[in-house]
Structure 1
Amino acid sequence: MTEKSLTSGFLSVAPIASFMSLLSPYTPFFDWLLKWGQVLGALGSLILSVLLVWLYRQQYNLLKIEQTPSIEISDWEMNGDEITLYLSNFGEGLAKNLRLRTMVEFPTEADVNMVSDSRNRDSIEVFTVEHNIHRYEEGEKLRERDIIGTERKVEFRGKPPFPDPSGQGYGDFQSGVGESFREEFYEFCFWIDVVYETEFNEEKTEPMTVPGRWFEIEPKEGKKLFETRPNEITYEYIFNKSAFASSRPDK
């Protein structure tokens, strides 16, 4: 190799070595930047993921609000044990699986004041039972049990259920209240709600009996009614013979 070529090679390598020597004092800084750059990158990905989850939940909650039904009872009437409801949906979403829920409060002691808001909660039993209701059009029963948004005064019919004092669900008031009389329970409070679900499977209720009803009959009269005219013990009879109930029990 000639002297010229060696000199040329030396000159080509020297600037690089000189540059690296200039950077050597900053090597710890570049190592720190590389290390924390990876950490910051991971942290940024985590923050981005959290932000995306938050945005998704915000959109989901907004969609739920926009698609939430709002059922109101425009009117209702009764005929024996059957109730006819005219329901309106003032929301945008579908209300499905409509049904009637009856909550009944029985006294477990003779001296319980059932019409007092301060009645002893340890001296009562509370039971709830449900029955489906169905749409009707021109007097014909349909299979549908839902109502879409913006529909008004849609006819539904059904029989509110009634449990006996042990909590056993019966088909209607006539059989349930009759069984209660047979077991010598002649006083109770009851509340009836229209129950439905949203498209997001959230349960909602709309009270039908506000604030509820309190029923009491003299034991001798109740026993005679059950033994001689049991067919008269219907929801219509109980409702007409009852007064406003006290506050709804918590259950």
Structure 2
Amino acid sequence: MASINRLKCSFSSYIVCFLCIFCLNHNIAHSETLTIYTEDWPPISYQNNSKMEGMGVEIVQALQAKLGTTEAIIMVPWARGYKSLLEEPNIMLFSVGRSAEREKLMIFLGPIAISSTSLYTRKGNAARLLAMGDKLYELSVGAYRGSIFADTAKKKGFANIDLAATPKITANMLFAKRFDLWVEGSLAVPSIVKEIGHEPDEIERVMVLDNLELYLAFSKTSSPAIVKAWEAALKAIKKDGSFQKIHQKWLANEPAPMDVLLINPNSAPTR
């Protein structure tokens, strides 16, 4: 009898989830449309022969399938996407690192992945750099413009941040010895290094600066109906196992975050 009750409860929860998505999708079908931006940041999002691929891309596509929507995923430079997120309504950008400062500026839905913000250098340099002690903080640190990685390095005491337009440009500058320290998200580093023609074992981590949760971010003025629909869809794919399947495909050695948090500066956080 207990097992039957559990099955009934589970079935009921699926029905409730389905009805929530159906009703919310009906609402957004007759309201504003969502513009979806991402950046070139493998393995989360990138283009392969003009086709959008990556873990984050597949998550967003799975959510669209639940919602019955077909918005194009548009790849733009990070600075442009981030500016649109801050200034325009109904913009979604992924993936965005969550911080206390950013929580006041946008709506976070996720997390979709867990990473870390770390400092890297060319292979064989880490011990020498760590031996510098406090002098290490006087060195230039490469980062890409507008990134949470640049912000984190500044907060941790690195005053000289050498900014470039993209992660790949920054990585190339490290190998060209323009600087000895590169700050980046640990999930992306191996793919970025490979894409510029190097191997991941040609660099080494100097230190971890902070843990990092990656989210879907909506502009602060986005339609509440759109945001609630995407929240319901994310809950659904984390419940039915499709989120875990996508995460395992791309990030097999990383734990899949199963919580669903909606952090909205316009209201209290929900889960």
Q: TM-score, normalised by structure 2?
A: 0.24
The higher relative CO (CA closer than 8 Å, separation ≥ 6) is in 2
Q: Which has the larger radius of gyration?
A: 1
Higher fraction of strand: 1
More helix by share: 2
